[in-house]
Amino acid sequence: MAMGIGELWSQMGSIMASIMFVYAMYDRFFPPHIRRYALKYTTKFTNLMYPYIQITFHELSGERLKRNETYKVIQTYLSANSSQRVRKLKAEVVKDSQTPLVLTMDDNQEIVDEFNGVKVWWSANHITSQSQPFSYYPASNEKRFLTLTFHKRHRDLITTSYIQHVLEQGKAITLKNRQLKIYTNNPSNNWGGYRSTKWSHTTFEHPARFETLAMEPEKKEEIINDLVKFKNGKEYYAKVGKAWKRGYLLFGPPGTGKSTMISAIANFMNYDVYDLELTTVKDNNDLKRLLIETSSKSIIVIEDIDCSLELTGQRKKKTEKDNDENGGKPDPIKEADKEDKKESKVTLSGLLNFIDGIWSACGAERIIIFTTNFVDKLDPALIRRGRMDNHIEMSYCGYQAFKILARNYLDIEYHHDLFPIIEKLLGETNMTPADVAENLMPNSITEDFETCLKNLIHSLEIAKKAAMDEEEKKKAEDEEAQLKVEKDKQELTQEEVKVKADGILEKKVKENGVTN
């Protein structure tokens, strides 16, 4: 047996030596143009015998050899199946991801994928450059790439549908695994520095979910359905010719959960949040620059918009009043002082263009949210339908919202004997979800859920009594004001009678010719 193996190796060595000798003779004695023809027909012959096509996706591309986004997306798509189908894996740390350690197939490994019944093969490869040319942007000696291999009869399916499918799925996985961020705009006067940015960000880790949001279930379901319809509405918005964005106006008293609602929407949609502070924006042009710097799949928030700038309808009335005091003309000195003191020159017109002007189409899948405690103070043009498409009133805590809070804070999943009392008091008293939650939160480790419910009942009774006292006080003030009006009317009537009597007496005196 050993003798047979030795003979085999001897024969193989002879064959390899013969091949090398023939190739050396071919390379030395055949002219280049003949070698080109030979290579051409050899390639055709190989293509006939090997009916597979290969597409290569390089990790680095461009003049400065930046990392190719397509390579990254495909690698993300393949990593979903790598741990089950490949024996040799490579661990990579991915920044800003919920799963920072990602397993991908190592070099010289292969994954078989299937699409519409067609098999394809993905392989990870690399080449090592022996010499590196001079460059201002030197690259690594190792150049990695992914190779897609498939049968040539499936060319159209692979190059049109399959690659598009891979890219879409890879992007979806990236979005699903990414770590959400919350941004705030830097003041406009700080944009000119070295490495300065218009937005600063940190990780968004607010735990609010629609499941824990204290709101009537029917109203909550309407909001969720609206969000799902928007998220799946790319083709619809393109068909009607509108930018893919939607506006939400959240209004209601303080403590009704407007900020919590924004966090719940961000977590549900998996969108980043841009908290826009208008008072630090220099003018309308800077507002546009901020809009351009926001990403798609994001929420742009302006909280307490009625307090941000003079964007309400009262601004015009105030200006007209000042002009009336100056004889119908504005005081130039006052106007100059106002402009000097005014940090931001963002106008209502600039904000309207920001919401739904031409610049608002620079991006897709955006949600714009305004919050306010006093919706009546806002200019009607700012909150009309088409700009703020969905007006959501964040009201006081109702019984259904209370049951959600009881489940969140006290783990009460069932009906309790104190619930009917709380239901009755909530129907008679206005208390915000924030105040209800504060009463339900145990103050010490010794307090049980029943004590917390009794604390809430006590607070509701105090609030009810305070509301009744306030109502009686207001009623007394109204009655007093009404009595004063009637008294003034009576005194005026007596004065009119007296004046009328004096006039009649004076007329008679003149008619009789008697004067004093």
Please write down the HEC assignment for all residues of 269-309.
HCCEEEECCHHHCCCHHHHHHHHHHCCCCEEEEECCHHHHC
Instruction: Give the torsion sign (CA, 318, 323, 326, 328).
Output: negative
Residue 131 and residue 57 share a domain: yes
Decide: 184 and 200 in contact? Cβ < 8 Å: yes
The per-residue pLDDT for 317 is: 47
Angle between the N-to-C axes of helices 217-231 and 258-269, in degrees from 0 to 180, rounded to the nearest 10:
40
User: Are residues 395 and 256 in contact, defined by beta-carbon separation less than 8 angstroms?
Assistant: yes
- Which has the closest alpha carbon to 376: 330, 436, 314? 314
233 and 364, same domain (yes or no): yes
The DSSP line for 178-225 is BPPEEEEEPPGGGTTSTT--SEEEEE------GGG--S-HHHHHHHHH
170, 190: one domain: no
The one-character DSSP state at 467 is H
Give the DSSP letter string of 87-144: SSEEEEE-TTBSS-EEEEE-TT-EEEEEETTEEEEEEEEEEE-SS----SS---SEEE
Range of the domain at 65: 51-177
Q: What predicted TM-score, i.e. pTM, was given to this entire model?
A: 0.72
Residue 257's contacts (CB-CB under 8 Å, 6 or more residues apart) are 213, 214, 215, 394, 432, 433, 434
- State phi, psi for 470 to the nearest 5 degrees: -65, -40
Q: Is residue 41 part of a domain?
A: no
Residue 188 in contact with residue 235, Cβ under 8 Å?
no
Q: Assess contact for 396 and 214: CB atoms under 8 A.
A: no
Place of tokens 């006081």: 396
Pair (287, 172) in one structural domain: no
Same domain, yes or no, for 389 and 275? yes
Nearest to 393, CA basis, from 380, 405, 383, 381? 383
Same domain? 277 vs 380: yes
Q: In terms of domains, do 207 and 295 share one?
A: yes
What's the pLDDT at 404? 93
Residues 94 and 222 in one domain: no
Q: Which residues contact 140 (CB under 8 A, 6 or more apart)?
A: none
In a domain, 88, yes or no: yes
CB within 8 A of 71, min separation 6: which ones?
57, 58, 59, 61, 145, 146
Task: Indicate whether 212 and 350 sit together in one domain.
Answer: yes
Note the pLDDT of residue 405. Answer: 93
The whole-number pLDDT of residue 314 equals 41
Q: How far apart are CA 182 and CA 192, in angstroms?
A: 22
Judged by DSSP in three states, 441 sits in coil
- Domain check: are 155 and 64 in the same one? yes
Say if 208 falls within a structural domain. yes
Closest to 266 measured CA to CA, from 312, 231, 239: 231
Residue 116 lies in a domain: yes
pLDDT at 487: 75
Contacts for 457 with CB less than 8 Å, ≥ 6 apart: 418, 421, 422, 425
- Tell me how far apart the alpha carbons of residues 192 and 187 are, in angstroms, rounded to a whole number: 11
Boundary (domain end) residue, out of 131, 146, 177? 177
SS3 1: coil
> Would 11 be classed as within a structural domain?
no
Residue with tokens 């499936």: 154
| pLDDT, mean of each 10-residue run, the chain (516 residues) | 60 71 66 68 64 87 70 85 68 67 77 90 79 50 84 91 92 84 88 78 92 93 96 92 92 93 95 93 90 91 84 47 54 53 76 82 88 90 88 94 93 87 92 93 85 92 90 85 78 65 62 55
Phi/psi-derived region of residue 365, left when phi > 0, alpha when psi is between -120 and 50, beta in every other case: left
Task: Work out the burial of residue 375: count CB atoms within 10 Å of its CB; fewer than 13 is exposed, 13-18 middle, 19 or more buried.
Answer: middle
Say if 237 falls within a structural domain: yes
Residue 501 in domain? no
pLDDT for res 130: 56
Domain boundary among 177, 210, 233: 177
| Residue 315, in any domain of the structure | no
Domain count within the chain: 3
pLDDT at 363: 78
Pairing of strands 60-61, 142-151: unpaired
Residue 96 shares a structural domain with residue 118: yes
Q: Please identify which residue in the block is written with the tokens 């504005």.
A: 330
Q: Give the CATH number for residue 209.
A: 3.40.50.300
Q: Using an 8 Å Cβ cutoff, are 419 and 457 in contact?
A: no
Calpha distance 514→516 (Å, rounded): 7
pLDDT at 486: 78
- How far is residue 371's CA from residue 321's CA, in Å, rounded to a whole number? 29
- Give pLDDT, residue 248: 96
- Same domain? 378 vs 434: no
